[in-house]
Amino acid sequence: MVDRQQGPAASSDDRANNSVAKALRVLEALADASPSLRLGEIAGQADVSKTTAHRILATLVTEGYADASEGRYTIGNRLRALAARAQANEASGIEAILRTLQQDTGLTVHLAVLSGEHATYTHTVDPPAAWRIATFTGMQVPLHCTAAGKVMLAALGSGERSTLLRKTGLAARTPNTITDHKALEEQLEAVRNRGWATDYEERELSLCSLAAPVLDSSGYPLAAVEVCALTALTDRTALEALAGTVRLAALQVSRRI
């Protein structure tokens, strides 16, 4: 009786493993797409039937890991963000760039990546001063009211940004948080034009930050470099004066990821 139960269970596990293997091969084919592939090409490269490839691709498109247009497929932005998170954790030289930025500005420095409906700090470099910002590596922060979040939102396509903001909403974290979609879009347009974003007591009273995007060759936001300070010690003018330094650090990081 036990053997008869184990047989089907093992068979079910084998089928599940086989399905995962096929999905991974389809992802590998997408990653090699230059710039895009048709269904038949993906099926051939992944060594699966067109029916199987279509089923897997439909799921990937729905979940944001693939994009489809006029019968051709490419990797999706959610997969790009996932790759950026892995690269940011592994890429050599990034920590040194962030430490130099900390030394140049005297402020807390973060590297943040898009992570679902939040920005996640993958690196944090604190100043050696007596005061420190209450942030840490692995911390998740909102997108609409942080400098890192806004600079990445600004670099997304309008459709992806709108979908994301509908999911997250624009909750008021302080009296200074922008909670109107039109007002936020106007600010994000200005962010795109100048290449940096600020948060002055929008996420938390007494804190301010400035961030610049880390972009790939297509302009997609892989991450953001951010400096964070106490408003009691850094006014808006002093914060915005750091924009060029932060943008340079973000450019250097983009060459490492």
Average pLDDT for residues 156-176, to the nearest whole number?
A: 93
Are 88 and 138 found together in one domain?
Answer: yes
The residue ranking higher by pLDDT, 138 or 245, is 245
Average pLDDT for residues 205-225, to the nearest whole number?
A: 94
Lowest mean pLDDT, pick from 27-36, 74-83, 174-183, 193-202: 74-83
Are 19 and 121 found together in one domain?
Answer: no
Average pLDDT for residues 238-256, to the nearest whole number?
A: 96
Between CA 141 and CA 13 the distance in angstroms is 38
Local confidence band at 9 (pLDDT 50, 70, 90 cut-offs) = low
pLDDT number for residue 28? 87
Average pLDDT for residues 104-133, to the nearest whole number?
A: 89
Q: Is there a contact between 52 and 16 (Cβ–Cβ < 8 Å)?
A: no
pLDDT number for residue 137? 85
Between CA 140 and CA 228 the distance in angstroms is 15
Are 86 and 210 found together in one domain?
Answer: yes
Are 90 and 13 found together in one domain?
Answer: no
| Domain around 167 | 81-254
Residue in this structure with the two tokens 């914060």, named with its chain if needed = 239
Are 112 and 201 found together in one domain?
Answer: yes
Are 65 and 90 found together in one domain?
Answer: no
Are 69 and 85 found together in one domain?
Answer: no
Q: Is there a contact between 247 and 212 (Cβ–Cβ < 8 Å)?
A: yes
Which of 20, 42, 75 is the endpoint of a domain?
75
Average pLDDT for residues 169-198, to the nearest whole number?
A: 97
Are 154 and 245 found together in one domain?
Answer: yes
Local confidence band at 91 (pLDDT 50, 70, 90 cut-offs) = low
Are 37 and 131 found together in one domain?
Answer: no
| Number of domains, the chain | 2
Comparing C-alpha atoms, which of 167, 199, 165, 198 is closest to residue 181? 165
pLDDT number for residue 3? 42
Lowest mean pLDDT, pick from 72-76, 141-145, 162-166: 72-76
pLDDT at 33 over 80: no
Are 85 and 56 found together in one domain?
Answer: no
pLDDT at 26 over 80: yes
Average pLDDT for residues 197-217, to the nearest whole number?
A: 96
CATH code at 12?
1.10.10.10
pTM of the model as a whole: 0.74
Local confidence band at 4 (pLDDT 50, 70, 90 cut-offs) = very low
pLDDT number for residue 117? 86
Q: Is there a contact between 234 and 61 (Cβ–Cβ < 8 Å)?
A: no
CATH code at 195?
3.30.450.40
Cα dihedral 124/135/148/125 (nearest 10): -20
Are 19 and 97 found together in one domain?
Answer: no
Which of 51, 75, 99 is the endpoint of a domain?
75
Copy the structure tokens of residue 174: 């302080």
Are 46 and 98 found together in one domain?
Answer: no
Query: Residue 182: how many CB atoms within 10 A of its CB?
Result: 8
pLDDT number for residue 18? 84
Lowest mean pLDDT, pick from 120-124, 173-177, 201-205, 206-210: 120-124
pLDDT tens, residue by residue, 122-154 = 899 999 876 778 888 889 999 999 999 999 999
> Phi and psi for 187 in degrees, rounded to 5?
-70, -40
Which of 12, 41, 75 is the endpoint of a domain?
75
